[in-house]
Structure 1
Amino acid sequence: MSEKVVVIYSGGMDSFTVLHKAVQAGHEVYALSFNYGQRHVKELKVAESVCASLGINHKVVDISAINQLLAGSSLTDDIDVPEGHYEEESMKSTVVPNRNMILLSLAVGYAVSIQANKVFYGAHSGDHAIYPDCRPEFVRKMDDVCRIANYEEIAIVSPYLNESKIEILRDGLAMGLDYGQTWTCYNGREKACGKCGACQERLEAFSLNNAHDPLSYE
């Protein structure tokens, strides 16, 4: 009997790869996406399309009301999205306060309710410099607390925690994944901007894998 798991699925490259990794491992996957008041929902539409094509149970949950508590991020406030590489100091403006702890907590509650025993999410080493809630120490402690927070023990799994987006893409390409089915750009326009930190990191990953990015750029 296949193991039932929850995958936090944003519609971006990393969670897209994690989703397929869980599917290919033979898990019974329940995908969970969140509208937390981000600048656009284009990636959520992409996530819906992918899950429909794979026949995966998928919930998109509107938690945008929490936005009134989470001020100060360029991803949720009326603040310009910075351009440039992730390691630049300006990219700290894209941090959404406590985002992953909130999303993981909700996903764990969902896992308990459907009798799943793991929650997957796509933290990776490229996020460590900017996002505290993607660092190994955070993931370890969340795993510890989520194993004791309910009668049921739920594990937090980050398959690419110590790998870069370059390595994630390499793994996904080896799986034959179509990254035209993902959305990375912080801006929700018709084409990706190619200038924000998310686009820059994505383009770098494709370049270093000697691969063509199927998305169209402005």
Structure 2
Amino acid sequence: MTSALVLLSGGLDSTTVLAYALKKGYDVATLSFDYGQRHNIELLSSRSVADFYGVENTVFKIDLRQVGGSSLTSEMPVEKRDIEKIGESVPNTYVPGRNTIFLSVAAAIAEVRGIDRIMIGANAIDYSGYPDCRPAYFSAMERALSLGTRIGNEKGFHIEVPLQYLSKAEIIRLGSSLGAPYHLTTSCYEGKRPACGRCDSCQLRLRGFMEAGLRDPLEYESFPEFYSEYLKKGRP
């Protein structure tokens, strides 16, 4: 049986990856990060999703507030943009080095456990424009981790990014077909319940549900206009 360490943020994408890995029959453990993020409510969602599937969830603590430079790890306001502007530039929700740090820690934990596969729910289609979500980045990290770990030298180290070329709507359709518990997830960069409905992550999530022809099961403080119009049409 193939073993995999799934990075689980408690969000929509990582939950879909977990459902996908289990459907493929992988022996799965999950890893979440408490990194000083303002939206640390995602740790509760990660635990709920892991419990839903009955898989182990390890929480690794690291303080990226010491790095700063992001509205997710500081007191600066979370940047809000119109949906049409998302992806045009790197917003202040970008956390410098986050995926590089996460993957390095994950590789260390995986190596100790004899696991040569890390799975992550990054996406390069409907995303906020982060440079560490691009396919070229993950290919480079896979090469680096294969070179820099014992298990990588012996077996080759794999970073699997199954959602990277899917739109948010395609991700939601996939997860829904697998019974992913989206009602347990969180996506809001503000870390709110109900979710703010205005940050990049909320808007991309809501547009994905709209384009998938489904209704998001989460509660929101407010909806962007495109989603309000969608609901007015009686969908779903």
TM-score range (shorter-chain normalised) is over 0.9
Quick one: distance in 2 between partners of 1:128 and 1:199? 11
Query: 1:56-75, CA deviations, whole angstroms, 9 ceiling, x for partnerless residues?
Result: 011011112x321x221111
Partner of 2:158: 155
Kept in 1: contact 2:106–2:118 (CA 8 A): yes
Secondary structure (helix, strand or coil) at the match of 2:50 reads helix
Matched residue of 1:31: which SS?
Answer: strand
Matched, 1:63 2:62: yes
Contact 1:48 1:58 in 2 (8 A): yes
Q: Number of aligned pairs?
A: 214
Structure 1: segments with no counterpart, 5+ residues = none
Q: Which residue of 2 aligns with 1:27?
A: 26
Partner of 1:10: 9
Which residue in 2 is equivalent to 1:100?
Answer: 99
Deviation at 1:182, TM superposition (A): 0.7
Task: Report the Cα offset of residue 128 of structure 1.
Answer: 6.0
Cα distance, 1:161 vs. partner? 1.4
Structure 1's 47 and 131: CA in aligned 2 closer, same or farther, altered over 3 A?
Answer: same
| Distance in structure 1 (CA, Å) of the matches to 2:5 and 2:35 | 18
Three-state SS of the structure 2 residue aligned to 1:126 is coil
Q: Is 1:180 aligned with 2:177?
A: no
Q: Find out whether 1:212 has 2:215 as its counterpart.
A: yes
Is 1:81 the counterpart of 2:78? The answer is yes
- Could you list the runs of 4 or more consecutive aligned residues of structure 1 that deviate by over 2 angstroms after TM superposition? 84-89, 126-129
- In the alignment, the residues of structure 1 paired with residue 32 and residue 210 of structure 2 have an alpha-carbon distance, to the nearest angstrom, of 29
The alpha carbon displacement at 1:176 in A equals 2.4
State whether residues 128 and 135 of structure 1, in contact with CA within 8 Å, keep that contact through their aligned partners in structure 2.
no
Indicate if the aligned counterparts of 1:127 and 1:135 stay in contact, CA closer than 8 A. no
Aligned to 1:116: 115
Percentage identity across aligned positions? 39
Aligned equivalents of 1:144 and 1:189: distance in 2?
A: 37
SS class of match (1:122): coil
- Give the aligned CA root-mean-square deviation in angstroms: 1.4
Match of 2:225 in 1: none
Query: Per-residue deviation at 1:178?
Result: 2.8
User: What secondary structure is seen at the aligned counterpart in 1 of 2:22?
Assistant: helix
Q: Which runs of 5+ in 2 are unaligned?
A: 222-236
Partner Cα distance (2:194, 2:127) in 1: 27
Q: What is the Cα deviation at residue 3 of structure 1?
A: 1.4
